[in-house]
Amino acid sequence: MTLVHIDFASAEADALARHTGRVVAFADESLDPWARRIDRLTRGALKRAMDSEAWSDLKPGEGLELAFPAGMAARAVHLIRLPRNAKPADLRKAGATIGRALDTAGALVAAASVRKIEHLAEGIALRAYAFARKAEAPKALGDVTLACKAAEAARTAAAPLLARADAVHFSRDLVNEPANILTTVEFAKRLEAMRDLGLEVEVLDEADLHKLGMQALLAVGQGSESPSQVVVMQWKGGGDAAPLALVGKGVVFDTGGISIKPAAGMEDMTMDMGGAGVVAGVMRALAARKAKANVVGLVGLVENMPDGRAQRPGDVVTSMKGDTIEVINTDAEGRLVLADVMWYAQDRFKPAAMVDLATLTGAVIIGLGHEKAGVFGNDDGLCADFLKAAEDTGEGAWRLPLDPAYDAQLKSRIADMKNVGGRPAGSITAAQFLQRFVKPDVPWIHLDIAGVTLIDKETAFAPKGATGWGVRALDTLVRTRFGG
| 228-275 pLDDT, tens digit each | 999 999 999 999 999 999 999 999 999 999 999 999 999 999 999 999
CA distance 32 to 50: 12
The residue among 149, 181, 207 that closes a domain is 149
What confidence score (pLDDT) does residue 217 get? Answer: 98
Same domain flag for 355 and 456 = yes
Tell me whether residue 161 is in a domain. Answer: no
Instruction: Assess whether 143 and 170 both reside in one domain.
Output: no
Q: Give me the pLDDT at residue 11, please.
A: 79
81 is catalytic: no
Residue 67 CA to its chain's centroid (Å): 34
Residue range 360-370, pLDDT digits in tens: 999 999 999 99
Report the CATH number at residue 357. 3.40.630.10
Same domain, 292 and 176: yes
Indicate whether 344 and 439 sit together in one domain.
yes
Q: E strands, 419-459, where?
A: 444-448, 454-455
Examine the domain organization and report whether 286 and 413 are in the same domain.
yes
The tally of domains found in the chain comes to 2
C-alpha distances in Å from residue 412, one per residue of 81, 234, 317, 320 = 59, 37, 13, 19
Which listed residue (164, 335, 372, 481) is catalytic?
A: 335
339 falls within a domain:
yes
Domain boundary among 114, 149, 184: 149
> What are residue 299's DSSP bridge partners?
231, 248
CA dihedral 347, 349, 355, 357 (to 10 degrees): -80
Query: Do 127 and 200 share a domain, yes or no?
Result: no
Answer for the pair 21, 74: CB distance below 8 angstroms, yes or no.
yes
Active site residue 139: no
In terms of residue numbers, what domain contains 55?
6-149
Given 116, 190, 236, 261, the catalytic residue: 261
Q: Which residues of 373-399 are buried (b: 16+ CB within 10 A; e: fewer)?
A: bbbbbbeeebbebbbbbbeebbbbbeb
- Same domain? For 353 and 439 the reply is yes
Q: Give the mean pLDDT per block of 10 residues along the chain (484 residues).
A: 91 87 94 92 95 94 95 96 94 98 96 95 97 85 94 96 98 98 98 98 98 98 98 97 98 98 97 98 98 98 97 98 98 98 98 98 98 98 98 97 98 98 97 98 98 96 97 98 91
280 with 416, same domain? yes
